[in-house]
Every structure is written in C-alpha cells, then in structure tokens.
Structure 1
Amino acid sequence: MRLPISAALLAIMTSAAAAGPVSFSNGWAEQRLSLFSSNDYSFGSRLGLVSEGSVSIAWTRVGDADWNSSGASWSWTVDESVPATDLARKGGDDRNISLYFVFVPQSEAAGLKGKGIRSLLGNKNVRIIQYAWGGNVARGSVIASPYGPAGQGVTIALRSAGTGSHNERVDLAADYARAFGGEKGALVGLAVSGDSDDTKSVIRASIGNLALR
C-alpha cells in the first residue's frame, strides 16, 4: 500500500449510493493509490476486480437514509488468490478483496455531506472498518491498520487467503464497539479494494448482494 488508506478513501467522497440494497451499477469511482498502479473494476449486478501486482480502491458515498445502518450482508467470490500475508505489516499486507465502511460522528455527518478532500483530510474523528479476505488469522480478529493516524482504522479478518465463494453478515455496531469503543457514528462511505502489489500476484474476485440494515 502506497498511501494512507484513510486519505485515499476520503479523497473521492463525491457520489452517493442508493438507500437500502447497494447498487454496483452506478455511483462508484476508482481511486488510485499509486501513479503507476491500478486494478481493473467492472460494475454491474456485481463489482468485479482483477488485480495484477497492483492496488486501488473503488468508492461510493452512502445516502443519508442509510447513515444509521448498524449491519451489512454481502456475497463474495475469489477465483485467483494472493498468498497469505501479515495483515498488520505495512507494505506487506496484500489481501484478495476488502470491503470498507467509513464512519463519522453523527453530529458531523450533515456538515460533511458533499464535502471534498479539503474538508475531510485531517479529520481526527473519521473511523474505518475494513473486512478482509486475506492473511491467515482467526475469523473476527481485529487488526490495527498500519496506515494513517493511529486508532483511525482497523482490519477485521473474515476469510484466509484462498479461493471460493461465501456469504457474509456483520454487525457494524458491535464491531465498531470492539474496534474503537463507544457507539458508531454515521456510515457515510463504502469502498472495495484488491491489493496484490507487494507479492506481485494476481487476484480475480467479485462482490455482490450488498445490503445495509
């Protein structure tokens, strides 16, 4: 990973996801983390990605009707996998596919609606949960992000590196409390990434049926 993940995610908070089930057909944009590195994304009923020794993020905003979401579910598939890596190691934490949930305090959400990078960078109150398919640790392990300000982001491991198809269901409120303490704020953004730049490997994966509740 070449840039702090929090900065990259916040840099493109300009479009909005529909309330309820999340569409992968529109409203998403790619954010590069390196000038010479980019994944290939396909948008439709599912979001597909191919990562060949590269890393980048596909991002969308969450509409205010879903700011109070406390849970999520989705399905994802990996057809070609990176090797298992150390998800806590900066510059060595490749993973097949990750789904990010970006929170801000409820009191700040309305004021940040539609704001760009200049209004968001340096906001010490932003919190990011990343659910990852990669590494080789126990399901549910909470790993502090090695990027960005300490305490701002965590990775929660759901699947070890490898191929297959799985359905997931997570409790955002409970996981937020485990990761950061206290009550979660407003869910204002979602992102999907694939990361294979450190191992120079190949990822072929997809995610779909994403719903907030």
Structure 2
Amino acid sequence: MRLLSLAFALTVALNFTATTALAGPVNFSDWRTHWFAIFSKVSFTPKGGAMGVDADGAVSIIYDRLGPQDWSARKASWRWGVTQSVPATDLTRKGGDDRNLALYFAFLPKPEAERLKGSRSLRKLLNHPEGRVLVYVRGGKHARGSVLGSPYLGARGKTIVLRPSGTGSHTEKVDLARDYRRAFGAEPTALVALALSADSDDTDSQISAEVSSLTLSD
C-alpha cells in the first residue's frame, strides 16, 4: 500500500459529516470512495448492510465519518468473506504489504474531535499528533491476533491481524477498548471515523470480497 494513499484516506475520513448511527448495523450506502480510486482498478459496491469489494492489482479506501452519537463506541462486530485472495505478505513491510481487507477505526481526543468537526483541512489531520488508528486486517502471513507496527502511521497506528491471507467467510467480534489499551497503553478516545481498504497493487493480484453486518456498540 502506498504511503500517501493510506495517509490521505485516513485524513479525509475524519473530515465529513457523519451518517452512521451507533444502534444497529452500519449502512454502507453513504460511504465515500477516496479520490485516488479514480485511478485504480478497485470497485466498492454498497448493498445496504454490506459492501462488495473487487480489486485488480490496485489499492483504494472507502470511508465514513462518525458523529458524536458514535464517539463512545467500544465494541464492533462484522462478517467478511473472501473468494479470491492476495498472497500472504509481510504487513510490516512498506510497499509490500498487500492484504485482502482492512477495517480502520480512527480515534481523536474528544476536545479535538469537537474542534475539528467542521474542518476540511487535510494537513491538520494528517499531522495530528493525538490521532490513533486501529487497523483490523484480513491478510498477511502473520498469526491471528498479532499486533504489528504500522509502516505508514508510526506510533499513531497499529495493525491487528484477525485472519491471514486466504479465502472463506468469518464473523469477527472485537473489543476496541481492550485493543486500544494493548496497542497504545491508554484508554480509548472518541471513535471519529471508519474506513475500509482493499490492497493488491504490490503483488499485482486480484481480490474479490465482501464485508457485511458491521455494527458498533458501547
């Protein structure tokens, strides 16, 4: 995954009006595809409570901003399935870390989340020292449960491997608060954005997958 692709996508994800409600499944129909998808062979197909994903030697991210009603979410669950998979890669290697799917949960301290609710400045959020991101991954060659440093986000982001590369469907339930404490050694701040990526450009491979029933809860 390219450094600028990830960084800009996460930044943009923090800048737009929320459409997701804490109660019930997330509706993917209002998610925004990041601008660089125009130049990529990646398609995101919303189906109400599901998002189909296809990639052909390309990388892209789709995202949604969360409103104050969701900032206190501390758990999440979803189902994801892969019918065509990228090879197993080293997720700590910049420029060689293809993965089938990655779900991003972006956090900011509440005062900063309030201050930046109306901001459309990419630079402010890209360089925000207090932002933190948990990235749950379906891909790589690492063992389930591995917590890895991000080659792009540095101390601000951690990758958590839920499933290595391969096909099949699985339901995931994660404790965001526990994982945040384990990753960053502190209590979680406000959950301000979600993002979903597919990444197959480094291995020039193909992905066919779907995420569904994504739900946030206290």
TM-score by length of 1: 0.94
Residue 6 of structure 1: aligned partner: 7
1:200 to 200, 204, 210: 204
User: Identity rate of aligned residues, in percent?
Assistant: 50
Q: How does 1:88-167 map to 2 (within 5 A)?
A: 88-116=92-120, 117-148=122-153, 150-167=154-171
Equivalent-residue separation in structure 2 for 1:52 and 1:200 (angstroms): 7
Q: Report the alpha carbon displacement of residue 17 of structure 1 after superposing the two structures with TM.
A: 2.7
Q: Deviations for 1:29-65, whole angstroms, at most 9, x for unmatched residues?
A: 1114577324111012211110000001000001210
SS at match of 2:155: coil
Q: Which runs of 4+ in 1 moved over 4 A?
A: 32-35
**Which AA in structure 2 matches 1:58?**
I
Q: CA offset at residue 92 of structure 1? A: 0.3
Q: Given the alignment of the two structures, is residue 65 of structure 1 paired with residue 69 of structure 2, yes or no?
A: yes
3-state secondary structure, aligned to 2:60: strand
The Cα RMSD (Å) is 1.5
- 1:76, 1:167 within 8 Å by CA — same for their partners in 2? yes
Q: Check 1:32–1:154 CA distance in 2 against 1; reply closer, same or farther (3 A cut).
A: farther
* Unmatched segments (≥5 aa) in structure 2: none
Q: Relative to 1, partners in 2 of residues 1:181 and 1:88: Cα closer, same or farther, differing over 3 Å?
A: same
Match among 17, 20, 38 for residue 18 of structure 1: 20
Contact 1:53–1:199 under 8 Å retained in 2: yes
Q: Is the 8 A contact 2:137 2:161 kept in 1?
A: yes
Structure-to-structure mapping, 1:74-89, within 5 angstroms: 74-89=78-93
Please list the CA deviations of residues 142-188 of structure 1 after superposition, one character each: whole Å capped at 9, or x if unmatched. 1111013x201111000010000000000000100111111111000
TM-score by length of 2: 0.92
Contact conserved, 1:2 with 1:33, CA < 8 A, in 2? no
Query: For the residues of structure 2 that align with 1:202 and 1:127, how far apart are their CA atoms?
Result: 30
Q: What corresponds to 1:39 in structure 2?
A: 42
One-letter code of the match for 1:42? T
Contact in 2 for aligned 1:52/1:201 (Cα 8 Å) = yes
Could you say which structure has the higher helix fraction?
2
